[in-house]
Amino acid sequence: MITLALSKGRIFDEALPLLAAAGIRIAEDPESSRKLILATSRPDVRVVLVRASDVPTYVQYGGADLGVAGLDVLLEHGGQGLYQPLDLRIARCRMSVAVRDDFDYAAAVKQGSRIRVATKYVSVARDHFADKGVHVDIIKLYGSMELAPLTGLADAIVDLVSSGSTLAANHLREVERIMDISARLVVNQAALKLAREPIRRLIDAFALACPKA
């Protein structure tokens, strides 16, 4: 049995065509089912539904043989013990720095300065500002990141941005694009050795079906 870890939401929805290309159709709608383990049209494949940030952990420790996780999640996780054969080019967005409309970001990030940054992407944010020679006080948050600059909790945020409409609605602006983000296929290295052929066939099917750059 091959176990695939997915998270609900955008990644799940955009992964469905890739699964279909591999001959995998999920038997139940995760939004209407309370099940966390879903059967598929293939008797040798099942899907487990986990939190997005937990996908790499399930794959690393063998709770799943492979999974789909955003690059943002993998960077924070560190990617230990994971084979990452494919950029699936789904769930695309970008990781950016954003500030209040009236905040002078250019002056705030002069080399040697110090700013407060709210984010859940601690490693990425710390590395980004270190590369700029800026001292940063990281404030770790898990949601409603846009509130941090508005309430004075932080000078800036590092967060995922798609259209930018949420930033605009909260009088924030994007001032730096750190990197492009998309979902990656991750595979447990031991599982790849033990079930090399069936897992390799899945990887090849996903590679053929994923959107072109």
Catalogue all structural domains in the chain, each as residue range(s) with its CATH number.
2-91+182-209 (3.40.190.10), 93-180 (3.40.190.10)
The predicted model scores a pTM of 0.89
Cα gap 28→111, rounded to integer Å: 53
pLDDT reported for residue 29:
82
pLDDT reported for residue 25:
93
Cα gap 79→41, rounded to integer Å: 30
pLDDT reported for residue 183:
96
| DSSP per position, 142-186 | SS-TTHHHHHTS-SEEEEEESSSHHHHHTTEEEEEEEEEE-EEEE
Mean pLDDT, 10 residues at a time, over the chain (213 residues)?
A: 94 93 87 88 94 95 96 88 92 96 93 92 94 94 93 96 93 96 95 87 89 74
Contact predicate 2/185, CB 8 Å: no
Cα gap 45→203, rounded to integer Å: 13
pLDDT reported for residue 210:
84
* Strand extents, DSSP E, the chain: 2-6, 37-39, 45-49, 66-70, 82-87, 93-100, 114-119, 135-140, 156-161, 172-181, 183-188
Residues contacting 37, CB < 8 A, separation 6+: 46, 47, 48, 49
pLDDT reported for residue 213:
64
**The two structure tokens encoding residue 185:** 């296929």
pLDDT reported for residue 70:
96
**The two structure tokens encoding residue 86:** 């494919």
What's the maximum distance between 2 C-alpha atoms anywhere in the chain? 59
